[in-house]
Amino acid sequence: MLLALVFVLGLMGILALVMKRLGLSGRMNTPGTKRRLKLIESLPIDARHRMALIQRDDVQHLVIFGPNGETVVETGIAPPDND
């Protein structure tokens, strides 16, 4: 009985890895729609905190993530011109 449980859990794990490798992780966009969110850059501050620059549409937001939640440092940052 225990061997069957371990076997089934192993199969589920292998299936999850295959689906992730094939891009079937459940995060699907509707075909033809443009993604609105981007992670521009992420930087670890220390072992427990991370700073991220996130872009939504044409506006960037600077956010710090930590064990107690997240803090928006700055919002409304215009993306740099790539001229």
pLDDT in tens, 11-33: 999 999 888 887 776 666 666 77
In a domain, 6, yes or no: yes
Instruction: Enter the pTM of the model.
Output: 0.57
Q: Are 35 and 56 in contact (CB under 8 A)?
A: no
In a domain, 8, yes or no: yes
Instruction: Give me the sheet containing 37-44, strands edge to edge.
Output: 37-44, 50-56, 59-66, 69-77
Q: Which residues of the chain have pLDDT under 70?
A: 25-31, 83
Could you give the number of structural domains in the chain? Answer: 1
In a domain, 48, yes or no: yes
In a domain, 10, yes or no: yes
In a domain, 40, yes or no: yes
In a domain, 69, yes or no: yes
What is the domain extent for residue 68? 2-77
In a domain, 82, yes or no: no
Task: Please tell me whether residue 81 adopts helix, strand or coil conformation.
Answer: coil
Per-residue model confidence (pLDDT) at position 58: 85
Torsion of CA 65, 35, 23, 49, to 10 degrees: -10
In a domain, 19, yes or no: yes
